Chain A
Amino acid sequence: MDLGPFEVNNSVSCRLSSQIPSLCLEQDCCLGIDEAGRGPVLGPMVYGICFCPVSKKENLKEMKVADSKTLTEAERENLFEKLDEAKSFIGWALQILSPNTISTSMLQRSKYNLNALSHDTAIGLVQFALDSGVQVKEIFVDTVGPAEKYEEKLSKLFPGITVTVRPKADSLFPVVSAASICAKVARDRVVKGWNFAEELGEVDTDYGSGYPNDPKTKAWLLKYLDPVFGYPQFVRFSWSTAQTLMENKSAAVHWDDDEEGGEKGAQRLNNKSMLSYFSSASGAAQSQTAAHRFFSDRRLKNIDTL
Chain B
Amino acid sequence: MATKKKRAPSAPSDSWVVIAADSAVDPKRRDADPCFVKLKNPRTDTASLYMFGSGDTQLYEVKAFEEDFHSWFIGQTVQHDGRLLFITPLDPLYLLLPYLLHAGKEKFQPLDQLLVDENFPACSRLLSCPCSVQHLAEEKEVGSRKFYRYSQERTLDWLKKKVDRTVVALKKKNISVGEGVKSATYIKVKTESNCREEDYLRYAHGLISEYLSEDLSNALLKHLNLPELTSPKESEPPSKKRKLSDKPVEAGEDYTKFNSADFVRKPPKKMTAAQKTLAKVDKSGMKTMSSFFSPKVKK
Q: Show the binding face of A for B, using Cβ within 8 Å.
A: 107, 109-113, 116, 228, 243, 246-247, 252-261, 264, 268-269, 280, 283-284, 288-289, 291-295, 297-306
Contact = CB atoms under 8 A, between A and B. Distances in A.
Interface string B77-111: 01000000110000000000000000000000000
Contacts of B65: 298-300
Contacts of A304: 38, 46-49
Nearest to B280: A110
Contacts of A246: 2
Interface of B is mostly: loop
A9 B1 CA distance: 27
Interface of B: 1-8, 12, 16, 36, 38, 41, 44, 46-49, 61-69, 78, 85-86, 175, 182, 184, 186, 203, 206-207, 209-210, 214, 231-233, 277, 280-282, 284
A293 B48 contact: no
A291 B64 CA distance: 13
Contacts of B63: 295, 300-303
Given A284-B232, A293-B206, 9 more contacts: A110-B282, A113-B282, A243-B1, A256-B69, A258-B5, A259-B1, A302-B61, A302-B64, A303-B63
Given A110-B282, A297-B184, A306-B49, A228 B210 contact: no
7 contacts: A110-B277, A111-B282, A116-B282, A259-B3, A268-B7, A305-B49, A306-B12
Nearest to B233: A280
Nearest to B16: A306
B182 A297 contact: yes
A257 B281 CA distance: 14
Closest A-B pairs by Cβ, 9 of them: A256-B69, A302-B48, A292-B206, A252-B5, A304-B47, A299-B67, A300-B63, A303-B64, A110-B281
Contact of A254 (B41, B69, B175, B209): B69
Contacts of B182: 293, 297
Contacts of A302: 41, 48-49, 61-64
A252 B7 CA distance: 8
Nearest to B80: A251
Contacts of B207: 292, 294
Given A280-B232, A295-B210, A254 B5 contact: yes
Contacts of A260: 3-4
Contacts of A284: 231-233
Contacts of A107: 1
A188 to B, nearest CB: 31
Contacts of A256: 68-69
B69 A292 contact: no
A222 B108 CA distance: 74
B57 to A, nearest CB: 22
Contact of B282 (A112, A228, A294): A112
B18 to A, nearest CB: 10
A283 B207 CA distance: 21
Contacts of B4: 260-261, 264
A258 B1 contact: yes
Nearest to B6: A252
A15 to B, nearest CB: 23
Given A289-B44, A299-B66, A305 B12 contact: yes
Nearest to B86: A300
A292 B86 CA distance: 17
A300 B36 CA distance: 18
B38 to A, nearest CB: 6
A232 B203 CA distance: 50
Given A110-B282, A301-B64, A304-B46, A258 B7 contact: no
Contacts of A301: 63-64, 66
Candidate in A112, A113, A256, A292 with the most chain B CB atoms within 10 angstroms? A292
A294 B203 contact: yes
Contacts of A289: 44
Contacts of B41: 302
Nearest to A264: B4
A303 B38 CA distance: 10
B68 A269 contact: yes
Contacts of A252: 2, 5-8
Contacts of A268: 7
A110 B64 CA distance: 31
Contacts of A254: 5, 7, 68-69
Contacts of B61: 302
Given A252-B7, A299-B65, A299-B66, A116 B12 contact: no
A85 B175 CA distance: 69
B111 to A, nearest CB: 25
B205 to A, nearest CB: 9
Contacts of A247: 2, 5
A193 to B, nearest CB: 29
Nearest to A281: B233
A288 B210 contact: no
Nearest to B203: A294
A113 to B, nearest CB: 7
Nearest to B69: A256
B36 A291 contact: no
B280 to A, nearest CB: 5
Contacts of B36: 306
Contact of A283 (B38, B68, B175, B232): B232
A299 B46 CA distance: 20
